[in-house]
Each structure stands twice: as C-alpha cells, then as structure tokens.
Amino acid sequence: MKHSNKKKKITKHAETKKKRIAILPIIYTIVVLLFMFAVFHAYRNAFTGGLPAGSEGYYHERMAKAINEKGILSYDSLSFSGRTYIFSAYDYLLALAGKVTGVRAASIWIPLAMAIISVFAFYGIMRKSGMKESSINIALLILAATPAFAYSALTSNPQIAAAAFLLSAFYFYMREEKAAVVLSAILFGFASLFGAAALLISLSIAGIFTIKHPERKKRFSALLGIFALMSVTYIITIAKFGLLPISFGKSLSSIVLELGALSGIGIFELILAGIGLLYAWASKDRNYLPISITALLLLLFLFGMNVSVYLAFACAFFSSLAINFLDERKWSLNILRGASIILILCGLLFSGLTFMGRAVNMEPDSGIVDAFSWLSNNYSGGNVLSVPKNGFYTEYFGMKAFSDDNFEYAPNLEQRLNASQQIFYSRDLDKTMAELAKNNITYIVITPEMKNGLVWRKEQEGLLFLLRNNETFKNVHLESTQAGSIEIWNVVPQVQTAG
C-alpha cells in the first residue's frame, strides 16, 4: 500500500513538473513582450512626454471619446471634411474601457492585454493540434520578436484585438466541452465585428477545421448563423456605399520591415517562413489548415487589406517548423548545424532590435503635437491640408482634415487625392489657388518629412515655390523639432475685383 502511494506521488510530481516545463515558453514570451513594452514607453516618456505612438491611435482615441460623450455614432464631422462614421468595434471597446481608466490609458493598455491574450490562445492552439514542444517554444519566441506583432502590442490599433478574439475563439472551437462551444461562438461573433478581414478569416478557420473534423458539422452550422448575423453591418455598408475598390499588387514595402514597413515582418523571417511552408507542404502529415489560412492571408494582402498581424502568427508558426527541420536533418558536421541555428536566431533577433530602434522614435513627437495644438488655438475654420497620416492629428485637435489615412468609404477619395497632388506639385499659382478655393482649404501644414522625400525632393518644387508669394500665403507658425521645422501656412483669401 505504501509502495503504491509512493508511486502515485512520483507520477503526480512528474506530471506537475511536465506542466511547469510546458508553460515556461509562454512565460518567457510574455516576459520578452513586457520588457519591450517597458523599454518602449520609458523612452517615449523620457523624450516625447509619454505621447502614444502612431497616428492611427489618435483617430481611435477621438472616436472613443465621442462615443462616451454622444453614444452611438453615425457621422464624423472632421474626417474628410465630414463623412459617415464607419462602425469599428475597437472604438467601442476603447470607449467602454475608457469609462474606467480613461480613453488615453485604455489606448495604451488594451493593445498589450490583447497581445498577451493572443499569445495564450496561439500557445493553446499549437498544443491542442499536437505540435512538437520544441516547435511551440520556437514559434512563441519568434512571434514576440516579429515587428508586426510587437507594433500591434505597442500602438493603439484594432488588428491585435481582432486577432485575440479570433485565436481565442478557435482555441475553444477545438475543445469538446459544451461551455467551450458556446464561448467559441460568442468570441467568433465579437471577432467578426472588427472588420471584413476578421470575418473572412474566422469563417475560413472554422470551416476548414470542420472539414477535417466532420463531427463538428452541427457546431459549424450554428456558427454560420452567427457569421450571417455579424455580416449584416457589412452588407448595410456595401448597400449604402458599394464595394470598396480592389487594390491589386500591394507593395512589398508595406509588409517587409527592411523596405520601410515598421509594422511589417523581417525579410529573414519571411524567407524562413517560406522554407517552413514548403516543408509543411511536402511532409506526410500535411496540415491543410495553416497552409490554407496563409494562402487566404496573402490573397487578402494582395486585395489591399491590413493582415500584417495575422501574417505574424503564420510566419512564426512556419519559421519554427523550418528551424526544427534544419535542427533534425542530418549534418556532416554538428558544429555547422549549431552555427546555422545560431545565425538564424541572430537574424531574427536583429529584426526585433531594428524594429525597436525605429519604433521608439515613431511620430508624433512633442513638436508635431505642439504645432497642431497651436493651429487648433488659432483655427478660424475651413479644411487643413497635409499628408493623409497628419489628418488624424488635425482631427484630434478638433479641426477639419481635407484627408486622412482612413480611406475606407471616404467621400470623393480619388478627387481629393488628385487635388492634393495638384496643389503639392503645380507651380501654376492660378490653378493652385483655384483648387484651394474649390476645396475650402484655409491652412497647409508642412512637416520636415514632407520636404525630405515624402512629398518633395527639391527645395523649390511645386507648392514650395509658390509659398514665396506673400500676397497669397502667410507663414503663421514655425515649430522647431529635431528633424527640422514644421511650417503652418494660412491661405490668404483672394479679393475679387470688378472688371
């Protein structure tokens, strides 16, 4: 009897130890994520006064505050000089959390919380699917160092929230318990409210998994009803505004870190993920789900949708398979295998460090905020013209932006972009003034970045040449920054003389 009890204790101790070892990778990953978060915000607090990074977050913060003040929104009077508000579940999530913490604090902490939830869900999915422990460990650590994932955890954006709900929903969908079934349906429903891409990915993941597990057909049938219900908001939007224009051939610079995409993926990881994808396709136990979902993500990317966060999870998964494959294959020299693995890990680490070096210096800095704050205090109406990403700052400070980065169903988008090009690049004063008057543009904001290649490459190119005309343009404010001066110009109203 004593021997039996002793054996049970040993078995129980071994199982407990195994569980502790299994949970270590997720702890390491979250520690890395928290360390990056702490360093990022410590730097921002020291050099920018704690300003949240990224222009998009200021749009969502503004809309969340408006929701708390006015309730359900239907119209945004500042974006594109006034437009119909396009529903975003993220804005309402921020508004809800903002009632407790304040919207600014919620904008900082919700992305981190959602990133941590997505790590747990990703870990659970990999374990539930029977993936090797070594591959799981590597995938989690690669994910933490992937710029697209880190960016989503450090800035206010709806993509990481959608990914957290979606991955959690799929994890519970894989389980057998009735409570898990109900929870997965609720979470899939919430995920679908974060955008058309999240809806399509949710439907595809559940559908492909059900094909592999036909015993879940009834469960999937119930999910179809939920997806249909959640799609009503998109159907109404399409009925009102039509389909969004398809943007084929999206540039690699929008997804590859080294080509300029701060919220992208390192080229080293992309190559590694490609090797892992080929390995997964060639293996006997070919797993169609991650391969199919990755194909869908690439298709959505080509159609112009923002799926970089989802691709971060896919790349981490396939990169771990590639490293495992290289580690397990036969090498003529073991030292060569070790050196190759170390080189790969250093390459991945370098991408993460490159990202952090650029991320801490993201806009806005105090100069940008001070410039738009000054303009807000001296604003006398009309539209403010700058590059689209600066439109979010314009609106945040209560002024009408001629355009911003939220192109989805924007009114007269093509006409506005063409007008901006005409104003920025023409040296014909009469044509430029006609465009400014036609579009009720009263202020022009020019940042150092715009004069250093974002818009102009030469000192007297286009509008920069015309600004010398003191009778037409008045330089009302200069804000000094480390990168140069931010210029605010007032368009002087033209007095019509009798012929």
Q: What's the pLDDT at 20?
A: 54
Range in 108-112, 203-207, 458-462 with the lowest mean pLDDT: 458-462
Q: How confident is the model at residue 16 (pLDDT cuts 50, 70, 90)?
A: low
The residue count of the chain comes to 499
Distances (CA, A) of 110 to 17, 54, 130, 151, 453: 33, 15, 30, 13, 34
Residue type, 470: N
What would the pLDDT profile of 313-340 be if each residue is shown by its tens digit?
999 999 999 988 887 766 666 676 677 7
Overall average pLDDT of the 212-217 stretch: 89
Helix, coil or strand: residue 444: strand
What would the pLDDT profile of 54-105 be if each residue is shown by its tens digit?
999 999 999 999 999 999 999 999 999 999 998 999 999 999 999 999 999 9
* Percentages of the chain per state (helix, strand, coil), in multiples of 5: 70, 5, 25
CATH class of 366-491: alpha beta
Q: How far does Cα 344 stand from its chain's mean position? A: 26
CB-CB contact of 426 with 432 (8 Å): yes
- 250 Cβ contact list (under 8 Å, min separation 6): 301, 302, 303, 304
Q: How far does Cα 447 stand from its chain's mean position? A: 24
Tokens at 154, concatenated: 């450090």
Q: What's the pLDDT at 83?
A: 94
What would the pLDDT profile of 416-466 be if each residue is shown by its tens digit?
999 999 999 999 999 999 999 999 999 999 999 999 999 999 888 999 999
| Cα–Cα–Cα angle for 175, 180, 183, rounded to 5 degrees | 135
Q: What's the pLDDT at 246?
A: 60
Range in 21-35, 61-75, 104-118, 246-260 with the lowest mean pLDDT: 246-260
Is the predicted pLDDT of residue 373 greater than 70, yes or no?
A: yes
Q: How many other CB atoms sit within 10 Å of the CB of residue 82? A: 12
Is the predicted pLDDT of residue 495 greater than 70, yes or no?
A: no
Measuring CA to CA, which residue among 122, 200, 216, 212 is closest to residue 160?
Answer: 122
- d(C-alpha 59, C-alpha 94), whole Å: 12
Range in 375-384, 399-408, 478-487 with the lowest mean pLDDT: 478-487
CB-CB contact of 197 with 299 (8 Å): no
Label residue 16 exposed, middle or buried (CB < 10 Å: 0-12, 13-18, 19+): exposed
- d(C-alpha 373, C-alpha 379), whole Å: 10
The single-letter DSSP state of residue 305 is -
Is the predicted pLDDT of residue 471 greater than 90, yes or no?
A: no
Beta-strand runs (E) in 317-422: 383-385, 400-401
CB-CB contact of 98 with 64 (8 Å): yes
Please report, for the chain, the start and end positions of each structural domain, with discontinuous segments joined by +. 2-51+86-359, 366-491
Tokens at 385, concatenated: 């013209």
Q: What's the pLDDT at 249?
A: 47
What would the pLDDT profile of 268-318 be if each residue is shown by its tens digit?
889 899 999 998 888 766 678 999 999 999 988 888 788 999 999 999 999
Q: In the structure, how many helices (H) and strands (E) does the chain have?
A: 21, 7
Tokens at 187, concatenated: 């979470």
